[in-house]
Amino acid sequence: SMPVRPRRLQSQCQIIERGHTRVIDAAYCNQRPMVLLAGIGFEADVVEQASREAKNRLGMLAYVLSGIRQLRDMEQFEATLETDSQVVSVSASAITVANLAPATSILAQGPAKIVEDDGLMDITIAAPSGFASAVAASYELFKSALSGSAAEREDIGFLQAKSVKISAEPPQKVALDGEIIGTTPVEITCVPQGLTLFVPTEAAEPLEAEKLTGLPKLKIKDKPVDDRPDTSN
């Protein structure tokens, strides 16, 4: 978990005081509460190798840097995913089951968007082979996170499910919301509308009304206040 700085804590207390709430989905992973995501394979290795000191100092960036250092060691494993409607057998390097996922959790970014209140979990399967493919797949997932479009590489797949059972050979480490909880197999079940959050009051993003800078031969002269039309009515 990340440390909470005093200024951030004050801001969070103000949000609670205003009382504006939103209901989103939650989940259980092997009977443990899950808010964000569960990572299997490479995702869990990244979490395990990110030191507590780095997490305290760098926050989510610690996971990104840990992942970059470990790309050369990414290995495939055999996995079976059993959902409500199908059984998927696949070779994978990382499997991420997400209820919510920040953009820095790039291994969860296979689908175009992860919706936190649709009653479904988003599952991303990454299966690059070799260092070059791992770098390319990571970049593709990073682009997906920034653009809001689905990943298109053949070694990246994704699906949705209300519940999923995942086994792996050899067994793989499992990270739940940033902490290692053991190894596969895991069973993850969505709890629709299972969590109420205090959130900031949503405000409309102001639209940019004017942009003239950069136009060729631009000159701007302000009119005297008395010469301006009355627009108060």
Residue 9 lies in a domain: no
Phi, psi dihedral angles at 143 (to 5 degrees): -60, -40
Fill in the amino acid letter for 182: G
Residue 165 sits in a domain whose CATH number is 2.60.200.40
Residue 213 lies in a domain: no
Residue 226 lies in a domain: no
Count of domains forming the chain? 1
pLDDT of residue 69: 56
Residue 143 lies in a domain: yes
pLDDT of residue 200: 79
Please indicate, yes or no, whether the overall pTM of this predicted structure exceeds 0.75: no
Domain that holds residue 103: 17-198
Q: What is the pLDDT along the chain (233 residues), one digit of tens a residue?
A: 445 556 677 777 887 888 788 899 999 999 999 999 999 998 787 776 654 444 555 455 555 555 555 566 778 999 999 998 999 999 999 999 999 988 778 888 888 888 889 999 999 999 888 877 877 887 788 788 777 888 888 888 899 999 999 999 999 999 999 899 999 999 999 999 999 988 877 654 554 545 546 654 656 566 576 665 564 55
Residue 230 lies in a domain: no
Distance CA 190, CA 185 (A): 17
Residue 73 lies in a domain: yes
Give the position of tokens 């970049």: 139
The edge-to-edge listing of strands for the beta sheet with 121-126 is 156-161, 121-126, 94-98, 37-41, 173-176, 179-183
Residue 130 lies in a domain: yes
Residue 103 lies in a domain: yes
